[in-house]
Structure 1
Amino acid sequence: MTDRTPLRRTLARLVPGRWARRGLFAGLMSALTASSAPVLAAEPVFPPAGSLGLAPPPGMKPAARFSGFEHRSGASIVLVEMPPEAWDQINGKFTPEAMVPSGFRVKGGPEPLTVAGGEGFVLRGMQGANGLTYTKWVAVVRGTSGTGLVTVQVPETAAKQVPAPAVEAALRTIAFRTKASLADQVAALPYTVGDTAGFRPMGVFAGNGLILTEGPKDIDPEREQPVVIVAPSLGQAPAGAEVAYARRIFTTQKDLKDVAITDEARSTRGGAVVVRLRGTGTDARNGRTLGMTQTTVFEGGRYMRVIGFADAGRADALARAERVAASVAMR
Structure 2
Amino acid sequence: MTDGSFLRALFARLRRPSLRGLVAGLVGSTLAAILPARAEPVFPPAGSLGLAPPAGMSPAKGFSGFEHRSGASIILMEMPPEAWDQIDGKFTPEALAASGFRVKGAREALPVQGGEGFVLRGSQSANGLTYRKWVAVVRGQPGTGLVTVQVPEAAAKQVPGQAVEAALRTIAFRGKASVADQVAALPYTIGDTAGYRPAIVFAGNGLILTEGPKDVDPAREQPAIVIAPSLGQAPVPDGAEAAYARRLFASQKDARDIAVTDEERTTRGGAVVVRLRGTFTDAKTARPMAATQTVVFENDRYLRVLGFADAAKGDALARAERVAASVAMR
Pairing partner for 1:58 from 55, 58, 68: 55
> Secondary structure at the residue paired with 2:56?
coil
| Structure 2 residues without counterparts, runs of 5 or longer | 1-32
Contact 1:39 1:167 in 2 (8 A): no
2-side partners of 1:122 and 1:222: how far apart?
A: 29
For 1:100, the equivalent position in structure 2 comes to 97
- Counting only pairs closer than 5 Å after superposition, residues 195-214 of structure 1 correspond to structure 2 as 195-214=192-211
Greater Cα offset, 134-143 or 209-218: 209-218
Letter of the 1:221 counterpart: P
Moved over 6 A (4+): none
Q: Give the drift of 1:88.
A: 3.0
For 1:317, the equivalent position in structure 2 comes to 316
Residues 52/130 of structure 1: CA separation in 2 closer, same or farther (3 Å cut): same
Q: Please say if 1:143 is aligned against 2:136.
A: no
2-side partners of 1:111 and 1:45: how far apart?
A: 24
Q: Give the drift of 1:37.
A: 5.0
Residues 37/278 of structure 1: CA separation in 2 closer, same or farther (3 Å cut): farther
Q: Give the drift of 1:313.
A: 3.0
Contact 1:275 1:297 in 2 (8 A): yes
Residues 224/101 of structure 1: CA separation in 2 closer, same or farther (3 Å cut): closer
For 1:185, the equivalent position in structure 2 comes to 182
- Counting only pairs closer than 5 Å after superposition, residues 209-288 of structure 1 correspond to structure 2 as 209-234=206-231, 236-240=234-238, 241-288=240-287
Q: Deviations over 1:155-195 (max 9, x none)?
A: 11112221222111111110000111111111111111011
Q: Deviations over 1:26-47 (max 9, x none)?
A: xxxxxxxxxx954233210001
The number of equivalent residue pairs is 296
Q: Give the drift of 1:79.
A: 0.7
What's the TM-score, normalizing by structure 2? 0.84
Using CA pairs under 8 Å that are at least 6 residues apart, name the structure with larger relative contact order, 1 or 2: 1
For 2:68, the equivalent position in structure 1 comes to 71
Letter of the 1:254 counterpart: K
- Counting only pairs closer than 5 Å after superposition, residues 108-119 of structure 1 correspond to structure 2 as 108-119=105-116
Residues 283/87 of structure 1: CA separation in 2 closer, same or farther (3 Å cut): closer
| Structure 1 residues without counterparts, runs of 5 or longer | 1-35
For 1:304, the equivalent position in structure 2 comes to 303
Q: Deviations over 1:216-259 (max 9, x none)?
A: 33343332322111111225253232111111221232222222
Letter of the 1:135 counterpart: R
Letter of the 2:47 counterpart: G
Greater Cα offset, 186-195 or 107-116: 107-116
> Secondary structure at the residue paired with 1:102?
coil
> Secondary structure at the residue paired with 2:212?
coil
Greater Cα offset, 116-125 or 65-74: 116-125
2-side partners of 1:217 and 1:98: how far apart?
A: 29
For 1:158, the equivalent position in structure 2 comes to 155
Q: Which is greater in Rg?
A: 2
1-side partners of 2:227 and 2:89: how far apart?
A: 30
For 1:290, the equivalent position in structure 2 comes to 289
What's the TM-score, normalizing by structure 1? 0.84
1-side partners of 2:213 and 2:114: how far apart?
A: 34
Letter of the 1:301 counterpart: D
Contact 2:72 2:150 in 1 (8 A): yes
Contact 2:235 2:299 in 1 (8 A): no
> Secondary structure at the residue paired with 2:98?
helix
Contact 2:135 2:149 in 1 (8 A): yes
Q: Give the drift of 1:87.
A: 2.4
Q: Percent identity?
A: 76
Greater Cα offset, 307-316 or 54-63: 307-316
2-side partners of 1:74 and 1:104: how far apart?
A: 18
Q: Deviations over 1:117-159 (max 9, x none)?
A: 3222211111111111111111112223222111111111112
